[in-house]
Amino acid sequence: MPVSDSALMEPKSLSAETAADARLEIKNLNVYFGEGSERFQAVKNVSVSVQQGGSFGIVGESGSGKSTVLRAVCGLVESWDGEIDIDGAPVSHKRNKAFARKIQMVFQDPYASLHPRHTVDRVLSEPLKLHGFDGIDGRVLRALDDVGLGADFRFRYPHQLSGGQRQRVAVARALMLEPEILLLDEPTSALDVSVQAEILNLFAELRKEHNLTYVMVTHDLAVVAHMCDEIAVMQFGEVVEVMDVDAMRNSTPKTAYTQELLKASMGYDAEFFGDS
Amino acid sequence: MSDTLLSVEDLWVRFPTRTGTVDAVRGISFSVGRERVGIVGESGSGKSMTGRSILRLIRAPGQMEAKSITFNGDNLLEYSERQMRKIRGHQISMVMQDPKFSLNPVHSVGKQICEALRLHTKVSRKQARQGALEMLEAVQIRNPERVFRSYPHELSGGMGQRVMIAMMLITDPQLLIADEPTSALDVTVQMKVLAIMDKLVQERGMGLIFISHDLNLVSSFCDRIIIMYAGRIVETCRASELHKATHPYTRGLLNALPRIEEPKGRLEALQRQDSWKQEASVDARV
Ligand SMILES: Nc1ncnc2c1ncn2[C@@H]1O[C@H](COP(=O)(O)OP(=O)(O)OP(=O)(O)O)[C@@H](O)[C@H]1O
Ligand SMILES: Nc1ncnc2c1ncn2[C@@H]1O[C@H](COP(=O)(O)OP(=O)(O)OP(=O)(O)O)[C@@H](O)[C@H]1O
Ligand SMILES: [Mg+2]
Ligand SMILES: [Mg+2]
């Protein structure tokens, strides 16, 4: 199905809607990779504002720059411009230790993000030691329990875990430092539906208890509808639409691309997708 | 029976660990014809180990054991390691759950796809390049030339996954084992990639084992479904009848899904029952 061009041509600036109490605000973010003729702009003029205690979703095409936006916020990309504000103050290009306490990210790829020769125990306790926490034992056990892994898993290595078990360790690690903002990159796409339900319930509880703020990237529209109040749709490095969750549930998105996403999330339909 | 491509009888996979032996797969039997068979089940239920066992890819200290794994009439358990290498990536391909792990980080993506093709068929360098670019385009990579020159770490999650799919399909296998092949893809690209696999099953009679935790997707895409729990098959059904599944475990999985049309406050997590572990495995051979 063709995607209407009008949806793609005008890069929207959404900063007009910015409210004063934004916890995380991204203004006109651009991210580049490569040099010279290989230079490639992965993120184009993206502006996003997330309220204190809000939960903001990013969906969109594979390769459209969703992970790159989160990585830019974490200070994991070198070449970017624009502005990233946290609680009204712009972040510096080099992030410090206090930043890590405040913001944590769960990475998309649970295989790459865990050190292959560190046990689960080490993965979870290391950040605590680095930041001078006490009661490490108890915290590690509680975190394992929170993500639905028993104490049995404490001394296993990543290769001794299934894909979903690894992702739960990654979620536990992000929660160890009790951050205020969580950046979640496909946090449940490697999980089965029951663990997904448990983790999403956990995210919801944490948000309520600790007033956490989330930015969540996912390709599962049902998950984003369940978790988020506002949703940005990305394509080709740009935000093509921002909608609230009701617009999504009622299937009243503006752009053809978002409508196509909604159709595709209804399941496989050979007649619809088969003959392209 | 001539339509049966693969038949597995009484498969076990075990791992010795510090705290005792983990039985990852406990005596399952199933078959695959020229059709789409979905394997679903919760995390850790043994789906990936089942897939890997077919290719005899269980790493030590893990051990696999089966009465037989019959592919095209031959028992793969009797094959030498050398014979197995001829099967792997040629007659039977597997898209692994960890795409980036299975790609070689020091070679460009294009080089790896070309090598896969050249191992399988006699083609010139130029033809291999052409074939690789076409395959990347077929899996909906927007800029095949750029991706061809890229290294694995330069790809997004979904691009890595599609590169793996391209690499596995380019050798035209008779059986494709796809382990969570589309979990990192946005839904529209996912549908297009499924359409490619669908076409290979319909037109070339490929067999497909589709491992996934996405029950809606599997029920709309596959022909038959195998549902695994704790290393066993608890239920098997026609994909279109999944909504009528009766096992409380399957029902629990279905109820755990968030749905766009019906907002819920809390999602229902599975209430596991000890008795499920003791139930005998259901035979999923047809
Ligand atoms: N380290 C890198 N070097 C070069 N290009 C990169 C690098 N990381 C990402 N890119 C490119 O930037 C673009 C955006 O990638 P990104 O990972 O943000 O996509 P995404 O929207 O998260 O996709 P997916 O849904 O597939 O994970 C892609 O075209 C990718 O190839
Ligand atoms: N090397 C190992 N040592 C010990 N146990 C292992 C090892 N590898 C796998 N296991 C265990 O075997 C079981 C089955 O693993 P498998 O990877 O097949 O699960 P899965 O169904 O594919 O799960 P997922 O959906 O999370 O990928 C899991 O409980 C896992 O912890
Ligand atoms: Mg990504
Ligand atoms: Mg698996």
CA distances from B255 to A38, B210, B217, B226, B267 (A): 48, 21, 15, 18, 8
Q: Which CATH superfamily is domain B6-284 in?
A: P-loop containing nucleotide triphosphate hydrolases (3.40.50.300)
Residues with CB under 6 A from ligand 1: A 33-34, 42, 62-68, 108; B 153-159, 184, 186
Over range A150-173, report the average pLDDT.
87
More confident residue, A35 or B234: B234
Taking the Cβ of residue B186 and every Cβ of chain A, the question of whether any pair is shorter than 8 Å is answered with yes
| Distance from Cα A69 to the centre of ligand 1, integer Å | 10
Q: Is the CB of A194 under 6 A from ligand 2?
A: no
pLDDT digits (tens, 9 = 90+) for B90-120: 899 999 887 666 788 899 999 999 998 888 7
What is the rounded distance in angstroms from the CA atom of residue B81 to the CA atom of residue A61?
A: 41
Q: In a 10 Å sphere around its CB, with 0-12 CB exposed, 13-18 middle and 19+ buried, how is residue B203 labelled?
A: exposed
Closest residue in A to B213 (Cα–Cα): A192
Q: Does the domain made of A8-271 have the CATH classification 2.10.240.10? A: no
Query: Which chain A residue lies closest to B105 (C-alpha atoms)?
Result: A112
Task: Give the residue, by CA position, lying nearest to ligand 1 atom 19.
Answer: A63
Listed range (A6-20, A60-74, B85-99) with the worst mean pLDDT: A6-20
Interface check for B25 against chain A (CB to CB < 8 A): the answer is no
* Whole-number pLDDT of residue B210: 97
Report CA Rg, chain B. 19
Position of tokens 């390049």?
Answer: B129
In this complex, the residue of A195, A200, A267 whose CB is nearest that of residue B216 is: A267
Of residues B214, B162, B140, B216, the one with CA closest to residue A3: B140
Looking at residue A7, what is its pLDDT? 37
CA angle A172, A173, A179 (to 5 degrees): 95
Question: What is the SS3 assignment for B7?
Answer: strand
More confident residue, A168 or B92: B92
Question: For A88, phi and psi rounded to 5 degrees?
Answer: 85, -10
pLDDT more than 70, % of chain A:
91
- For chain A, give percent helix, strand, coil, nearest 5: 40, 25, 35
Ligand 2 contact via B27 beta carbon (within 6 Å): no
In this structure, of A142-156, A176-190, A250-264, the range with the lowest mean pLDDT score is: A250-264
pLDDT in tens, A208-226: 888 899 999 998 999 999 9
Model pLDDT for residues A234-248, shown as the tens digit of each residue: 999 999 999 999 988
Q: Which of B4, B1, B106, B101 is nearest to B48 (CA)?
A: B101
pTM of the model: 0.84
Closest-approach residue (CA) in chain A for B222: A268
| pLDDT for the residue A21 | 76
Q: Which of A162, A165, A194 has the most ligand 2 atoms within 8 A of CB, as the residue to mutate?
A: A162
B217 touches A at CB < 8 Å? yes
Q: How far is CA B69 from the centre of its chain?
A: 17
**Structural domain boundaries in chain B:** 6-284
Tell me whether residues A163 and B154 touch, CB distance under 8 A: no
Question: CA-to-CA distance for B171 and B99, rounded, in angstroms?
Answer: 17
Low-confidence ranges of chain B (pLDDT < 50): 1-2
Interface of B with A in 38-57 (CB under 8 A): 41-45, 48
The domain limits of chain A are 8-271
Contact B189 A190 (CB under 8 A): no
B62 and chain A: CB distance < 8 Å anywhere? Answer: no
Q: Does the beta carbon of A155 lie inside 6 Å of ligand 2?
A: no
Nearest to A222 among B183, B194, B257 (CB): B257
Considering every ligand atom, which ligand is closest to the CA of B43? Answer: 2
Nearest ligand to the C-alpha atom of residue A43: 1
- pLDDT given at position A209: 81
Mean pLDDT, rounded, for A263-274: 81
Our answer on whether the CB atom of A163 is closer than 6 Å to any ligand 2 atom is: yes
Q: Is A195 in the pocket of ligand 2 (CB under 6 A)?
A: no
Residue A19 has pLDDT above 70, yes or no: no
A186, A249, A265: residue with CB nearest B184: A186
**Residue A114 pLDDT exceeds 90:** no
Ligand 2 atom at shortest distance from the alpha carbon of B51: 18
Q: Which residues contact B157 (CB under 8 A, 6 or more apart)?
A: A62, A67, A108, A109, A186, B184
The answer to whether the CB atoms of A197 and B269 lie below 8 A apart is yes
Q: How confident is the model at residue A5 (pLDDT cuts 50, 70, 90)?
A: very low
B 81-120: CB under 8 A from A: 97-98, 100-101
A81: number of Cβ within 10 Å? 9
Q: Which residue has the higher pLDDT, B137 or A109?
A: B137
Query: B85: CA distance to ligand 1 center in Å?
Result: 33
- Given this model, what pLDDT does residue A110 score? 66
Of the pLDDT bands very low, low, confident and very high (cuts 50, 70, 90), residue A111 is low
Whose Cα sits closest to atom 7 in ligand 1? B154
Report the 3 state secondary structure along A5-66.
CHHHHCCCCCHHHCCCCEEEEEEEEEEEECCHHHCEEEEEEEEEEEECCCEEEEEECCCCCH
B156 CA distance to ligand 1 middle (Å): 4
In whole angstroms, what is the distance from residue B44 CA to residue B25 CA? 10
